[in-house]
Amino acid sequence: MIKQYLLSPGPTPIPNEVELAMSETMIHHRTPQFNKVFEEARGGLKKLFGTKNDVIMFASSGTGAMEAAVANLFSPGDKVLVINGGKFGERWLNIANAYGLNPIDLKVEWGRAVKVAEVEKQLEAHPDIQGVLIQASETSTTVLHPVKEIASLTKGGPLFLVDGVTAVGVVPVPVDEWGIDVLVTGSQKALMLPPGLGFIALSDRAWDRTKKAKLPRFYFDLNLERKNQQKGSGAFTPAVSLIFGLRASLNMLEREGIEKVYARHARLCRATRAAATALGLKLLAPDSPSPAATGIFLPEGIDADKVLEYLRDRMNVTLAEGQDQLKGKVIRIAHVGYMGAFDVITAIAALEMALRKFGAEIPFGRGVAAAQEVLMEALP
Ligand SMILES: Cc1ncc(COP(=O)(O)O)c(C=O)c1O
């Protein structure tokens, strides 16, 4: 038996408590027994999303919830502004194109956050923009975008759609307080569940818009789901076992305290960044890092994909790769979800060893020591 370490930004490790909850005997989804579990999970989600409105669940991955947002809120030809700073910005763009919208592609340099002034400029130049689509945390570049500031620009104007797949449960993204119109996430990140659930919350004005929007929808019909989910199940067969697990994971977050959950993610992120810097490695997101994952450039001449393969297949440590133009150059160490201090230590120690194997002059322990200095903050 060789122990595996899953340190990727989704799927993420699953706590034993959640695994046990998911192994409950299957029950029928149109019963008072299921309704109770579902209602408790709905209550926990509302708190997590910071909204008085419903959080709708789909048996889909996070992309399904993104698609639901577009299909329910727009009409063919609607102009939308897409903040495109990575693979998931591209995903908004692809969904908008697939549904026949008219997206403006606001490209942002990979590794950087969008400038609020750039968004403001686009909104002034195109007063007919119906929606602004963004990632709170762009997982592919490990960047956090300024969602709160952009929300203040869209008040009373275009709808503001936020992909929070690696932000919800990682950093505060309070829907009602900030005036966000749509917030989306998936189960396999900070919610510490397997893949398979998509979540979406809407503001009052977004719910109003669903009545006027003309794009076709069937499985992802938010009004149909809201009507059914308010009655304690879904329009179709819900992912029963995942919802058992969801209730357990929401309880765990509540017990830890959501502010402490955010502080833990921030600390693990700072420790990872400190370690990379101590090892003389460059950070992918120098200015606006996402506390979900840290992107690190490996030294020139070392193929990052080969290092990742070695880490995974010889050392049993799974980290994530760089995508597109970052392929072979970057690795991403995740610290999202069921992660603690010793996951960071494992990741950094393993990276030091793998880099040495690939010929880098890495002094063993230097990155680990830098991470330990930060992690000690939680042990006063
Ligand atoms: C920011 C972001 N958005 C969207 C997605 C897509 O989610 P899924 O793979 O669950 O469809 C991901 C997945 O990693 C993500 O990180």
Domains and CATH numbers, the chain: 16-255 (3.40.640.10), 258-378 (3.90.1150.10)
Instruction: Return the sign of the alpha-carbon dihedral for residues 169, 171, 176, 181.
Output: negative
- Would the pLDDT of 181 be above 90? yes
Distance from residue 139's CA to the centre of ligand 1 (Å)? 8
- Amino acid 241 reads S
What mean pLDDT is reported for the chain?
Answer: 98
Distance 196 CA to ligand 1 centre (A): 12
pLDDT band (50, 70, 90) for residue 35: very high
Can you list the alpha helix ranges (DSSP code H) found in the chain?
16-22, 32-49, 62-73, 87-98, 116-125, 147-154, 175-178, 204-212, 222-229, 240-256, 258-278, 304-314, 341-357, 366-375
Name the percent of the chain in helix, strand, coil, to the closest 5. 45, 15, 40
Q: Is the pLDDT of residue 1 over 80?
A: no
What does the chain come to in residues? 380
pLDDT in tens, 128-161: 999 999 999 999 999 999 999 999 999 999 999 9
**CA dist., res. 324 & res. 84, Å (int):** 14
Q: Which residues line ligand 1 (CB under 6 A)?
A: 10, 61-63, 88, 91, 135, 137, 139, 163, 165-166, 186, 195
Ligand 1 closest atom vs CA 188? 10
Q: Rounded to a whole number, what is the distance in angstroms from the first to the last CA of the chain?
A: 36
HSE-CB of 293 using CA atoms within 13 angstroms: 31
| Alpha carbon of 315 to ligand 1 centroid (Å) | 26
> pTM to 2 decimals?
0.98
* Tens of pLDDT, residues 300-324: 999 999 999 999 999 999 999 999 9
Distance from Cα 67 to the centre of ligand 1, integer Å? 12
Q: Which atom of ligand 1 is nearest to the CA of 136?
A: 1
Please work out, in degrees rounded to the nearest 5, the angle formed at the alpha carbon of residue 218 by the alpha carbons of 213 and 220. 80
Angle between helices 147-154 and 116-125 (to 10 degrees): 20
Q: Nearest residue CA, atom 2 of ligand 1?
A: 165
- Ligand 1 centre and the CA of 341: distance in Å? 25
- pLDDT tens sequence across 326-350: 999 999 999 999 999 999 999 999 9
* CA-derived radius of gyration, the chain: 21
